[in-house]
C-alpha cells in the first residue's frame, strides 16, 4: 500500500470506535542500525572468502536494496582466477577435513548452528535489506530453518560412518544458489556437503550475496579449518566458471530451469556429480469439501509468501467448480486486506521484489495474461512507488495452455482454473513440464491420499502448504530437477560408493574381432537348409521385426559368426517407448506381485540355464564354466530384486509438525537402459531387474557386441507372466539407439553403460527434458554382488515423494 498506509486510514482524530472499525496498523519497523553499521564497518565493500582469508576482487558490482532501490554495498565480481584459487584451497583442505572423525565434523557443524542462532537477528535484518522479503519471514522462517539445517546435519556428521557405511564424500563441491532464499539455500547446500566430508566453493546470487558474506565471517569466527568453506561472489559468469572447473567433483545448483539445463549440458561427460533444484508451477488443488477459510490462508502462504518468489509457490489454483465462485470471493476479500510495504515493517504481508528486471518480468507476464484473454484482478489500493513492489494479483478465466498457466512467473501472481472431477484435477495438475510441489485441500483424507501419489511432483502438502524441514527431503520430478535436499535422502547427494574411487576399472568395450563370415554351424552339402531363427526385437510383449528390415551379424570374440539380430532404429525405439507407457499398470502392482514375477523369471531362466551358458560362451569365447557362473549370478540377481521388491520402502520423517511426512519411493517412469558388453546376460539383468522391481518400465538396448543372450531372454520373459511393455528389448547400435532414447521426451531416465563419448552424448541430450541419467564408462565387476546389485541401484531406480499430512482439527 502506498507508503504502508492502508486504504481505510483513520481520520486525524480517531475515536476508539473509528479505530476498531478501521483496524489499521501503525508502522512497526524493525531496527536496522546494527546491520547498516556492519556494512559501514566494512567500508561498504566485500571481497571473496578463500582459504580462510578475505581476498579483494579485481572488480566489484553494486548490490541494491529492493525496498528503496538505493545502493547497499559493493561486492567482488569473481573471475576464473578467483574460482581457481577457491578450488585449490578447497582441494588442499580436503585430506585433513576427511581425516577428521565423525564427531569432530559434527562439532564444527554444531558450532555453525550455534553461531547462526547467536546472530539470528543480524542475519534476518540483513536478509530483509538485501532481498526485500518481510522481516517476519526472515526472522521466523528463514533463519530458524537455517539453524535447524545445521543442527540436523551436525547429527548426520556424527552418524556418517555408521549410517552411510561404504560411502564417502565426492571431494570438492561447487554450489550455485539463487536469490529468493539466499541464506536458506546456502544452508541446504553447505550443511549436508560438509557433514558428508566434502569441502565447498559456494557462489551466492548476484542480487543477494550479503548473508553469505556474513556466513563466511561466521565460518571464520568459529575457526572452521581454512579452505573447507570458500565463498566467491559474482554473477552468472562466475557460476559458469565453477560449473566448468575441472577441479570440482560435484555441482549442486538451485535456480531457473534454463540455467539448470545449461549446467546439465556444460557438465555432460565430465564425471561430475550433479543435483538440480529448479523451477516449478505448482498446483494448489481445492476440492469442494475443503475448509474454504483455511484454504484462503493457505493460498496466502502459497503464493504471497516471499512475494511469490518461491520455486514451489502454489501458483496455479485449481478449484472444484461448485465452490470456485465462493472461494474466489473470499480470496479477493483477503487480498484487499493484504499489506504490501517496507519489508522491515513487522506488520506487512509482502515486501519488495528482488530487482527491477524481475519486476519487469512479472509485469510483462501479467500483460501477456491479459493479452491472451485472462481476467486480471488486483486490490483497490496502490503499492509503494519507491522500491520495487508488485501487488498481489489473481487471474481468472485462464486457459490451461495459456502462458501464465504454464510459465514460472516467480512473483505474487496466482492463476485460477476450475475442474469437475478428481481425475480432471490430476490431469490439470500434471499439465506442465514441471513437478516440484503440490497442495491438496479436502476434508476427505481418502480423497487427498488418493490424489497425492497421482501427482507428478516431489512434495505434496495435504491441507497445508510451503512446509519445510531439514529432516524431510525436498526436490522435484521432471523439469523441476533431480536430487533431494534435506533428510537422509539429501545426504546421498553428497556421497559416493567407496568402490568408485578404489576399484581398478574393467575394460568396458570388448575389442571388435576381425570379421570371419564362417558359420558356427557347418553343414554337409546336400542337407536341407536349417530353419532360420533370427531373433527379433521384443516390443510390447511381442516379437517385432525391425523397422529397418536389416539384420546385423553377431560375431564371437574370435571372429566366428554366431548369429544375427535385428537392427533396431528410431522407429523401433519410439514404438518401444509407447509400449512401455501403455504398461503403466505395472507401477500400481504391489511389491509382492512384482516379486512373484521376478521369481518366476528366475525359475524359467534356471530351467534353461545350460542353454544360456552355452550361448554366452559361444559369443565370448570363455570356458563353459564362465557361462554357467554368469547364468547362476543372473538367477541370483533376479532373486535379489524379487527380495527387494517389497522391501525398498520409504520412511516416515520426524518433522516438527503435528503430523507426519511420508517419504514414498516412487518409480521414475519409463527408463532407457544401454547395457554393457561384458557379461551380456548378467549386465542386462543387473540393470533391468532393479528398475522393474521398483515399478519402472524399461526400454533396453542389450549388449551391442553380444546381444544373443538378451534375445534368448525374451522367450523367458514370454513364459514368465511379465506384462507386455514392461521390458522391451531393441538390439542394434548402442550409441545410435540410446541417442534416440536420450532425446525422447517421454523417457524419464537413461542408464548408460558404454563409452565415454556415448555417456557424454546421453548427458547432453538429457538436458532437453532434464531426464535423470546414470552413466558409467569405467566398468564394473558385475559378478560381485557388492558392486553389481543392491541399494545403489534401487536408489537410482526411484524418486522420493514427501507427502506432508498434518493431524488434528
Ligand atoms: P538464475 O537461474 O539465472 O540464477 C540462479 C543462480 O545461478 C545465480 O547465482 C546466478 O548467478 C547463477 N547463474 C546464472 N547463469 C549461470 C550459468 N550459466 N552457470 C552457472 N551459474 C549461473 O535465475 P535468475 O536469472 O536470477 O532468475 C530468472 C528466473 O529464474 C526467475 O524469474 C525465476 O523464474 C527463476 N528462478 C527460479 C528459482 C528457483 O528456485 N526455482 C530461483 C531463482 C530464479
pLDDT tens for each residue of 102-134:
999 999 999 999 999 999 999 999 999 999 999
Do residues 342 and 4 touch, judged by C-beta distance below 8 A? yes
**Alpha-carbon gap, residue 463 to 292, rounded angstroms:** 11
Q: How far is the CA of 678 from the centre of ligand 1 (A)?
A: 42
Pocket test for ligand 1, best of 181, 208, 259 (most atoms within 8 A of CB): 259
277 in active site: yes
- Ligand 1: which residue has its CA nearest to atom 6? 178
C-alpha cell at 53: 582469508
- The pLDDT score that the predictor gives to residue 5 is 43
65, 137, 206, 277: which one is catalytic? 277
**Residue 217: pLDDT over 80:** yes
Per DSSP, the three-state class of 568 is coil
546: region left, alpha or beta (phi > 0 left; psi from -120 to 50 alpha): beta
pLDDT band at 532 (very low <50, low <70, confident <90, very high): low
Q: How far is the CA of 180 from the centre of ligand 1 (A)?
A: 10
Nearest to 140 by CA among 122, 162, 124, 159: 124
- The pLDDT score that the predictor gives to residue 2 is 37
Q: Which of 163-167, 317-321, 511-515, 787-791 has the lowest mean pLDDT?
A: 511-515
**Alpha-carbon gap, residue 585 to 580, rounded angstroms:** 10
Nearest to 58 by CA among 42, 45, 40, 68: 45
Q: How far is the CA of 51 from the centre of ligand 1 (A)?
A: 26
C-alpha cell at 612: 544360456
**Residue 7: pLDDT over 80:** no
788-809 confidence digits (pLDDT tens) = 999 999 999 999 999 999 987 6
Which atom of ligand 1 lies nearest, measured to the CA of 204? 9
- Ligand 1: which residue has its CA nearest to atom 9? 205
**Residue 423: pLDDT over 60:** yes
297 in active site: no
Which atom of ligand 1 lies nearest, measured to the CA of 179? 43
Q: Report helix angle 609-620 to 591-607, nearest 10.
A: 70
The mean pLDDT value for 428-439 works out to 97
- Ligand 1: which residue has its CA nearest to atom 29? 256
- The pLDDT score that the predictor gives to residue 547 is 96
**Residue 6: pLDDT over 70:** no
Which atom of ligand 1 lies nearest, measured to the CA of 207? 26
137, 206, 311, 675: which one is catalytic? 311
The mean pLDDT value for 292-307 works out to 98
- Ligand 1: which residue has its CA nearest to atom 16? 236
Q: How far is the CA of 776 from the centre of ligand 1 (A)?
A: 29
Which atom of ligand 1 lies nearest, measured to the CA of 355? 26
First to last CA, the chain: 35
The mean pLDDT value for 193-215 works out to 98
553-569 confidence digits (pLDDT tens) = 998 888 888 999 999 99
**Residue 508: pLDDT over 70:** no
**Beta-bridge partner residues of 750:** 672, 773
Pocket test for ligand 1, best of 75, 178, 409 (most atoms within 8 A of CB): 178
Q: How far is the CA of 255 from the centre of ligand 1 (A)?
A: 4
Per DSSP, the three-state class of 190 is helix
Q: How far is the CA of 231 from the centre of ligand 1 (A)?
A: 18
**Residue 501: pLDDT over 50:** no
Q: What does the mean pLDDT of the chain come to?
A: 94
Residues with CB under 6 A from ligand 1: 176-180, 203, 205-206, 235-236, 239-240, 243, 254-256, 259, 262-263, 278-279, 311, 358, 361, 408, 410
- Ligand 1: which residue has its CA nearest to atom 28? 256
Q: How far is the CA of 138 from the centre of ligand 1 (A)?
A: 21
Q: Could you give phi then psi for residue 476, rounded to 5 degrees?
A: -110, 175
Q: Report helix angle 210-222 to 182-195, nearest 10.
A: 40
- Ligand 1: which residue has its CA nearest to atom 27? 256
- Ligand 1: which residue has its CA nearest to atom 21? 239
Which atom of ligand 1 lies nearest, measured to the CA of 311? 41
Do residues 340 and 383 touch, judged by C-beta distance below 8 A? yes
Which atom of ligand 1 lies nearest, measured to the CA of 259? 2
User: What is the per-residue DSSP string for 328-340?
Assistant: HHHHHHHHHH--B
C-alpha cell at 806: 498434518
Within 10 angstroms of residue 518's Cβ, the number of other Cβ atoms is: 8
Q: How far is the CA of 783 from the centre of ligand 1 (A)?
A: 44
- The pLDDT score that the predictor gives to residue 530 is 65
This prediction's pTM: 0.94
Amino acid at each position: 500500500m502506498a507508503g504502508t498506509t492502508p486504504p481505510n486510514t483513520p481520520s486525524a482524530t480517531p475515536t476508539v470506535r473509528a479505530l476498531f472499525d478501521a483496524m489499521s496498523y501503525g508502522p512497526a519497523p524493525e531496527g536496522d542500525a546494527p546491520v547498516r553499521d556492519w556494512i559501514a564497518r566494512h567500508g561498504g565493500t566485500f571481497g571473496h572468502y578463500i582459504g580462510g582469508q578475505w581476498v579483494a576482487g579485481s572488480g566489484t558490482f553494486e548490490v541494491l536494496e529492493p525496498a528503496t532501490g538505493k545502493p547497499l554495498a559493493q561486492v567482488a565480481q569473481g573471475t576464473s582466477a578467483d574460482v581457481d584459487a577457491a578450488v585449490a584451497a578447497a582441494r588442499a583442505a580436503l585430506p585433513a577435513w576427511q581425516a577428521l572423525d565423525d564427531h569432530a565434523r559434527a562439532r564444527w557443524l554444531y558450532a555453525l548452528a550455534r553461531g547462526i542462532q547467536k546472530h539470528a537477528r543480524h542475519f534476518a535484518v540483513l536478509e530483509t535489506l538485501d532481498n526485500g522479503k518481510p522481516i517476519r519471514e526472515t526472522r521466523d522462517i528463514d533463519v530458524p530453518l537455517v539453524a535447524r539445517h545445521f543442527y540436523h546435519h551436525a547429527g548426520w556428521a556424527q552418524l556418517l560412518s555408521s549410517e552411510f557405511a561404504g560411502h564417502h564424500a565426492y571431494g570438492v563441491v561447487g554450489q550455485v544458489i539463487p536469490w529468493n532464499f539466499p541464506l536458506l539455500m546456502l544452508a541446504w547446500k553447505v550443511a549436508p556437503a560438509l557433514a558428508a566430508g566434502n569441502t565447498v566453493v559456494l557462489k551466492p546470487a548476484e542480487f543477494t550475496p550479503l548473508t553469505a558474506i556474513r556466513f563466511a565471517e561466521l565460518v571464520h569466527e568459529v575457526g572452521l579449518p581454512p579452505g573447507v568453506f570458500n565463498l566467491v561472489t559474482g554473477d552468472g559468469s562466475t557460476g559458469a566458471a565453477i560449473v566448468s572447473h575441472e577441479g570440482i567433483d560435484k555441482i549442486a545448483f538451485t535456480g531457473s530451469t534454463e540455467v539448470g539445463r545449461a549446467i546439465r549440458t556444460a557438465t555432460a561427460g565430465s564425471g561430475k556429480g550433479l543435483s538440480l533444484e529448479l523451477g516449478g508451477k505448482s498446483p494448489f488443488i481445492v476440492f469442494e469439501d475443503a475448509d474454504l477459510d483455511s484454504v484462503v490462508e493457505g493460498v496466502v502462504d502459497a503464493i504471497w509468501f516471499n512475494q511469490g518468489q518461491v520455486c514451489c509457490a502454489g501458483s496455479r489454483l485449481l478449484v472444484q467448480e461448485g465452490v470456485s465462485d465462493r472461494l474466489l470471493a473470499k480470496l479477493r476479500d483477503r487480498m484487499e486486506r493484504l499489506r504490501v510495504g517496507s519489508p522491515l515493517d513487522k506488520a506487512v504481508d509482502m515486501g519488495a521484489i528482488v530487482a527491477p528486471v524481475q519486476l519487469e518480468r512479472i509485469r510483462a507476464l501479467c500483460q501477456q495474461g491479459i493479452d491472451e484473454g485472462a481476467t486480471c484482478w488486483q486490490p483497490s489500493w496502490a503499492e509503494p512507488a519507491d522500491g520495487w513492489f508488485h501487488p498481489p494479483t489473481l487471474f481468472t478465466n485462464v486457459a490451461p495452455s495459456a502462458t501464465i498457466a504454464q510459465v514460472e512467473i516467480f512473483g505474487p501472481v496466482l492463476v485460477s482454473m476450475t475442474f469437475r472431477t478428481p481425475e480432471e484435477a490430476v490431469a490439470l495438475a500434471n499439465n506442465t513440464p514441471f513437478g516440484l510441489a503440490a497442495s491438496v485441500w479436502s476434508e476427505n483424507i481418502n480423497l487427498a491420499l488418493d490424489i497425492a501419489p497421482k501427482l507428478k511432483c516431489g512434495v505434496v502438502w495435504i491441507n497445508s502448504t510451503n512446509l519445510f524441514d531439514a529432516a524431510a527431503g525436498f526436490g522435484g520430478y521432471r523439469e523441476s530437477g533431480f536430487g533431494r535436499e534435506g533428510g537422509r535422502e539429501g545426504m546421498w547427494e553428497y556421497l559416493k560408493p567407496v568402490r568408485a574411487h578404489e576399484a581398478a576399472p574393467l575394460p568396458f568395450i570388448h575389442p571388435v574381432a576381425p570379421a570371419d563370415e564362417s558359420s558356427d554351424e557347418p553343414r554337409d552339402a546336400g542337407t536341407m537348409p536349417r530353419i532360420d531363427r533370427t531373433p527379433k526385437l521384443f516390443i510390447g510383449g511381442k516379437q517385432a521385426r525391425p523397422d529397418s528390415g536389416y539384420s546385423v551379424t553377431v560375431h564371437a570374440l574370435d571372429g566366428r559368426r554366431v548369429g544375427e539380430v535385428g537392427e533396431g532404429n528410431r522407429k523401433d525405439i519410439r514404438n518401444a517407448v509407447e509400449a512401455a507407457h501403455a504398461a503403466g499398470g505395472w507401477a500400481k502392482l504391489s511389491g509382492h506381485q512384482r516379486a512373484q514375477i521376478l521369481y518366476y523369471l528366475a525359475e524359467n531362466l534356471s530351467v534353461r540355464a545350460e542353454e544360456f551358458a552355452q550361448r554366452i560362451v559361444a559369443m565370448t569365447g570363455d570356458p563353459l564354466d564362465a557361462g554357467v557362473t554368469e547364468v547362476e549370478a543372473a538367477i541370483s540377481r533376479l532373486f535379489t530384486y524379487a527380495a527387494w521388491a517389497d522391501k525398498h520402502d520409504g520412511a516416515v520423517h520426524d518433522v516438527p509438525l503435528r503430523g507426519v511426512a511420508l517419504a514414498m519411493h516412487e518409480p521414475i517412469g519409463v527408463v532407457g537402459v544401454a547395457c554393457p558388453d561384458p557379461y551380456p546376460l548378467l549386465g542386462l539383468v543387473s540393470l533391468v531387474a532393479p528398475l522393474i522391481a521398483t515399478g519402472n518400465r524399461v526400454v533396453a538396448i542389450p549388449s551391442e557386441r553380444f546381444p544373443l543372450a538378451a534375445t534368448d531372454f525374451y522367450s523367458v520373459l514370454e513364459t514368465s507372466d511379465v506384462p507386455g511393455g514392461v521390458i522391451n528389448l531393441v538390439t542394434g547400435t548402442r550409441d545410435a539407439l540410446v541417442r534416440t532414447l536420450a532425446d525422447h521426451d517421454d523417457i524419464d531416465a537413461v542408464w548408460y553403460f558404454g563409452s565415454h563419448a556415448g555417456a557424454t552424448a546421453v548427458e547432453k541430450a538429457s538436458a532437453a527434458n532434464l531426464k535423470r541419467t546414470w552413466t558409467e564408462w569405467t566398468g564394473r565387476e558385475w559378478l560381485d554382488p557388492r558392486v553389481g546389485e543392491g541399494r545403489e541401484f534401487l536408489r537410482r531406480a526411484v524418486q522420493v515423494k514427501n507427502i506432508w499430512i498434518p493431524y488434528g482439527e
